Amino acid sequence: MHRSAIDPHGTTGHRRVRRAGVTVASAAMLLPLLGAAPAPSAAEKPAAGGLQQAFGAAASAHHVPQSVLLAVSYLQSRWDTHAGAPSVSGGYGPMHLTDARTAIAGTPHHGDGTEDARGDGSRPLPAPDAKPPTAAELPARLTTLTKAAGLSGLSAERLRTDAAANVEGGAALLAAAQKDLGRPLSADPADWYGAVARFSGADDSATAATYADDVFAVLRTGESRTTDTGQRLTLAAQPDLRPEPAQLRGAGLRTASADGTECPRTVSCEWIPAPYEEFGDGDYGNHDLGDRPAAQSIKYIVIHDTEGTWDGVLNLVQDPTYVSWNYTLRSTDGHIAQHVKAKDVAWHAGNWYVNAKSIGLEHEGFLTSPDAWYTEEMYRASARLVRYLSAKYSIPLDRQHILGHDNVPGPTTSTVPGMHTDPGPYWDWRHYFTLLGRPFHRTPARHGALVTVLPDFAENQPVYTGCTTKDVPCPAHGSSEVRLYSQPDESAPLVRDIGLYPSGAASTTGVNDVGSRVSTGQRYAVADRAGDWTAIWYLGQKAWFRNPRRQPTAVGASGPVVTPKAGLQEVPVYGRAYPEAAAYPAGVPVQAVAPLPYKILAGQRYAVGDKVPGEYFFSPTFDTTGHTVVVGQDMYYEIQYGHRVEFVRAADVDLVR
């Protein structure tokens, strides 16, 4: 389970999160297609250069500037076809034409209709008789393929599976939007701002305008890329292009207020608050009021996927008996909803220390559906939001502070096996950090003492199993993660994780098993080398991965590491950096500084992400009067120990630069 039932406060035992009393709308409970739709036959696939030609032909047929058509497609899909598989919001092909009803109807909830979409056992299961929504229940942004079929005369099936047809359908939609706005089918890209905004499918003017601004930013900078079908497409830069935003007036879109939000002006954002309410016999939800960063610093941003669709997830976060997070991002157009202020503490990470020190971002998507791809617009909106939060709260833009939920440590031994694993191996960390303006790169020589994991996302396709059925291989797909072996041999057993498998069982290739893999951007200390293989220190052992010179999966890095102090044969590892007992004032119960089953042995080294004091946010009641931030004298280093970060006491280790 990649979404397990975890007390958002860790194991302090001072709060229960009740079962949600909300029935999620049926549209929210049903997921987009988990497997790929039938791929086009060889005859249907464009020949080399065919897709670029398809853009030209579609542009000519519908009198749309080819550059506009290319830029819109790039922002939707980066010109990839995804072999006819739908995105997380039921979008198909290079133009991301949406047909959510078809995608939803193809697969019951999580494949068998019995799982909770969030993987949280403390929530009720979906109603077994939930039915796919009717077309009338779906917003217009999720039914653009149907409209394109009517405008172009092409069948819905062709629009889903034939890339050239998909491009023509997109051109027909743009031309129709231009006519609806009373604009001429001009050859000047600057005259198409309003139509591009309408193409987004957004129902509010701010989101539509932000989308159009992004398309015109692509037009100004230009792009060139090899697609997932091996075709090289190019969009020439037009740096002097200046559109006319006034074209959007009269488009009939609602005005969504950004009042109350904490977002940069470069994204569309609205305030949909998570409720802070008391209920039952002293329970309350679904977050805690705080005073960050004055009372305690914000150190982390945690990247999640929703495991549900936009509307259903918004229903959940507005339920006081559920959990919460700070922001949700929509896949179709990158629209953002903020739910919890940054000063307050949302319940999203499954580790109370991390909750108290982090901001959580949920992205519309599904971990176990590799072909249900994320749109470029959502990646870009997320990156702009993270850059804004990073600057505002002094959060470093690196993989030690921008964490996946799958990098959050279990706070205690008993919680380690149930920690969440989203956004999973199919989130493109390399592309994401490029958008953040912090691309990963080699630092010193190849044979340095540290490495940064950096595979080519598209080419790196390790086998995962269990996306839909246990032990059955998932569809082949690019991945941010690299598998680890106990010896420099792919036939050797995978490295073991005694936290995940206390019985000593081996790690698996399961898509939710993070016990034997590393992720793009993470840094590790080198333990050994043998030919095309590199070993790193990982979970207290040597872990080997293929790292051939001609196609490296990791590059040289530099930075501080920790190693046990001289004379210590081993030092304990912790899942949270809590203060020493003497730091707690009267009335605040001492929280155990409980080590995990992991150790750092003499001679081993682990990359350091930060040095922090022990800290605990005491917030047991709805009344905030007694809320206290306890800060100790004991210092901790955050380290990259396994797939997840962990903590070691500074007194136990030496820092080596």
What pLDDT is stored for residue 25 in this prediction? 33
**pLDDT beyond 90 at 62:** yes
What pLDDT is stored for residue 185 in this prediction? 97
Per residue in 260-288, pLDDT tens? 999 999 999 999 999 999 987 778 888 99
What pLDDT is stored for residue 9 in this prediction? 41
d(CA 629, CA 296): 7
Find the range with the poorest average confidence among 258-262, 372-376, 380-384, 645-649. 372-376
Q: Name all domains of the chain by residue range, CATH numbers in brackets.
A: 31-99+143-248 (1.10.530), 441-558 (no CATH), 563-656 (no CATH)
Average pLDDT value for residue range 517-543: 97
What pLDDT is stored for residue 155 in this prediction? 96
d(CA 303, CA 140): 28
The answer to whether 526 and 605 are in contact (CB under 8 A) is: no
The answer to whether 70 and 54 are in contact (CB under 8 A) is: no
What pLDDT is stored for residue 103 in this prediction? 54
**pLDDT beyond 60 at 419:** yes
Taking phi over 0 as left and psi of -120 to 50 as alpha, with beta for the rest, 460 belongs to beta
What pLDDT is stored for residue 254 in this prediction? 84
Higher pLDDT pick, 238 / 11: 238
pTM of the predicted model, to two decimals?
0.87
pLDDT tier at 14, thresholds 50, 70, 90: very low
- Which tokens in the block code for residue 108? 């019951």
What pLDDT is stored for residue 445 in this prediction? 58
**pLDDT beyond 80 at 146:** yes
Rounded to 5°, the CA angle 424-427-429 comes to 115
**pLDDT beyond 60 at 140:** yes
Handedness of CA 508, 513, 514, 519 (dihedral sign): positive
Per residue in 575-618, pLDDT tens? 999 999 999 999 999 999 999 999 999 999 999 999 999 999 99
What pLDDT is stored for residue 258 in this prediction? 87
**pLDDT beyond 80 at 6:** no
Residue in 290, 301, 258, 274 with CA at minimum distance from that of residue 393: 301
Helices and strands in the chain: count of H runs, count of E runs: 13, 28
- Tell me how long the chain is: 657
pLDDT tier at 245, thresholds 50, 70, 90: confident
Average pLDDT value for residue range 553-569: 96
Q: What is the mean pLDDT of the chain?
A: 86
Average pLDDT value for residue range 42-54: 61
What pLDDT is stored for residue 38 in this prediction? 34
What pLDDT is stored for residue 119 in this prediction? 26
CB-neighbour burial class of residue 610 (10 A; exposed 0-12, middle 13-18, buried 19+):
middle
Average pLDDT value for residue range 502-523: 95
SS3 state at 51 = helix
Per residue in 84-138, pLDDT tens? 888 888 899 999 999 876 655 443 222 333 333 222 233 333 333 334 444 446 7
